[in-house]
Structures are given as structure tokens and as C-alpha cells.
Amino acid sequence: MVEEDIHKGERLMESCIEKKIYFHDTDCGGVVYYANYLKHLEEARTEYLSGKGIGLKDLMAKGIYFVVSHVEIDYKAPARYQDVIRIFTDIEKVGFSTLHFFQKVFREDNLLVEARTTLVCINRDFKPVRIPDGLDSILKRETRD
């Protein structure tokens, strides 16, 4: 069972979105193109934050942006046309201006992809800034320790 797999030695990742694979996701190798997983991962992170009451669009209106500064991703098994994948998302660490996400992509109980992504909180001038107070406390509550 998925839930077993994903919390071996770690907390259950509660946030999950489900996506179906269409032609536009795939390439002529017959599987999902490696860059396209990053789109699904973006969606999953956005929904994770949204589930905590954090709206990226509202923040943008205030001049607060989160941009990706680092991705480390392992492709373990391919997804194919019409597969249904589930993307589990968690925050591992909240830094001064950074959010550290950990995500896993499954097809049924097969782990396909594992990714760590760092987002940096920046202002309109693309300078890193402190994560706003309210956010910070919501997100810290979510992480381990």
C-alpha cells in the first residue's frame, strides 16, 4: 500500500494530488518526458500550500514571490499514457527565506519519482527576503521537529 511505503521511517505525507497522463506529457520514447514531471510537482506544491491557506497569487499581489532555486530529482520508473499518478508533497524544512519541499510520485504502489525542491522567497527586485511572519509559523507547524 502506498501509505505504508511513503511513511517508512517518516511522517505520513498527507497532501496528495492525482493526475492522469495525456499525450502532451509524453515523448516519443513512449513515457512521460522528464521535464514534464516538474509541472506536476509545481501543481502539487501549489495545492499543498493552498491546503494550508497560503495563496501564491495573493502573495504575488503583495510583491512576495516564491521562485525555485534548486531541484534534485530521481526518476526511478516511467509513467505512460493514461497512467494515473499521485503526487505526495511535504515540507522538510523552513529556512529564513527558503522552503524545502520533498515530493514523491506514485503509480499505484510504484514509486516513480522522488524530488527535493527549494523555493526562495523574493521581492519584486528578485532579492531574497524573509518569509512573511504568518506564513512562517503555519509552515513550521507542518514540518518535523
Nearest to 139 by CA among 54, 63, 28: 54
- Residue closer to a second copy by CB (options 69, 137) is 69
Handedness of CA 43, 103, 133, 54 (dihedral sign): positive
Site string for a second copy, 114-143 (x = CB under 8 A): ------------x-----------------
- Residue closer to a second copy by CB (options 11, 80) is 80
Beta bridge mates, 94: 99
- Residue closer to a second copy by CB (options 19, 93) is 19
Q: How far is the CB of 15 from a second copy (least distance, A)?
A: 15
- Residue closer to a second copy by CB (options 75, 102) is 75
The length of the chain in residues reads: 145
Choose, from 5, 25, 27, 133, the residue flagged as catalytic. 27
Q: 27 catalytic, yes or no?
A: yes
Question: 8-67: which residues touch a second copy (CB under 8 A)?
Answer: 20, 22-24, 26-31, 33-36, 38-39, 42-43, 46, 55-57, 60, 65, 67
CB 19 within 8 A of CB 84: yes
Active site residues: 27
The footprint of a second copy (CB under 8 A) covers 20, 22-24, 26-31, 33-36, 38-39, 42-43, 46, 55-57, 60, 65, 67-76, 78, 80-82, 126
